[in-house]
Amino acid sequence: MALPKLDVPRYPVTIPSTGEEFVMRPYLVKEEKVLLLAMESQDPKQIALAIRNLIINCIEGELDLDTLASFDIEKLFLELRGISVGEKIQIQSKCQECEHPNDVEIDIKDIILKDHDPNSNIIKLSDTVGVTMRYPTIDLLNDMEGDLDSLDTLMNIVTSCINTIFDNENIYDCKKENIKEVQDFVDNLTSDQFKLISSFFQNTPVLEYDLKFNCEKCEHESSYELRGLQSFFT
């Protein structure tokens, strides 16, 4: 006999870096199992893959995860977890005085994307010419193995992350332009202009939470700044 199926609720969700809106459903018990197994493995690659698959399954519509910044994926996952298993996360944190491990509860709503300014991606290079930027995707950063501080790598990242180039008359979509021409554009920037663009990456938003708790053993108040998704799931 066919048993009744339950309706799954749906929630609106906004992609932080682009402002695009989508609809998301909570993850199901069978999907949570896969996630928990990945987390137990403590293998960052498995965890990233499980999170990625969860988001793909639960978001409706055409969302290309490969174009998202890593903080987009982290924020989406937090929201997904919030609607799926609740807004509270339990973590264990050591007292800064006596090192006693304390159980502390975090509200997902209080985890913020720090430094997130939706307009920071528009950079004017002169009175008439400017660029709009996008944040590096996880894949791009993985491809840029080696020295992330070298000028070559930085120039490659900058070239890959220029979304559009604009002047008073036109907006040029760099995905549609010849990559060589975009490289030439970057090569011909002045040092000051290049610094303007690269400062965009230094202000990449990060998930952040100020953790404060009084130790249950010695009552000392500890405070930590938690940054990045992995610090909430240890």
The rounded radius of gyration (Å) of the Cα atoms in the chain is 21
Give the phi and the psi of residue 113 in degrees, each rounded to 5: -90, 105
Q: How far is CA 73 from CA 14, 48, 59, in A?
A: 11, 9, 12
Q: Which of 37, 98, 129, 179 binds Zn ion (CB under 5 A)?
A: 98
Q: How many residues bind Zn ion (CB under 5 A)?
A: 8
Angstrom distance (rounded) from CA 53 to CA 145: 24
x/- letters, 167..206, toward Zn ion (CB under 5 A)? ----------------------------------------
Q: Which range in 106-114, 125-133, 157-165, 215-223 contacts Zn ion by CB under 5 A? A: 215-223
DSSP string for residues in 187-219:
HTS-HHHHHHHHHHHHT--EEEEEEEEE-TTT-
Q: Is 100 in the site for Zn ion (CB under 5 A)?
A: yes
Q: Which amino acid is at 188?
A: N
Q: Is 215 in the site for Zn ion (CB under 5 A)?
A: yes
**Which is closer to Zn ion, CB of 195 or CB of 220?**
220
Provide, rounded to whole angstroms, the least separation between the CB of residue 121 and Zn ion.
44
Q: Is 151 in the site for Zn ion (CB under 5 A)?
A: no
Distance of CA 200 to the CA centre of its chain: 15
Residue 220 near residue 97 (C-beta atoms within 8 A): yes
Q: What is the DSSP letter of 187?
A: H
**Which is closer to Zn ion, CB of 97 or CB of 184?**
97
Q: Is 217 in the site for Zn ion (CB under 5 A)?
A: yes
Provide, rounded to whole angstroms, the least separation between the CB of residue 223 and Zn ion.
13
Helix (H, G, I), strand (E, B) or coil at 132: strand
Provide, rounded to whole angstroms, the least separation between the CB of residue 216 and Zn ion.
8
Helix (H, G, I), strand (E, B) or coil at 77: helix
Residue 36 near residue 52 (C-beta atoms within 8 A): no
**Which is closer to Zn ion, CB of 212 or CB of 220?**
220
x/- letters, 45..84, toward Zn ion (CB under 5 A)? ----------------------------------------
Provide, rounded to whole angstroms, the least separation between the CB of residue 101 and Zn ion.
10
Residue 173 near residue 183 (C-beta atoms within 8 A): no
Binding site for Zn ion (CB under 5 A): 95, 97-98, 100, 215, 217-218, 220
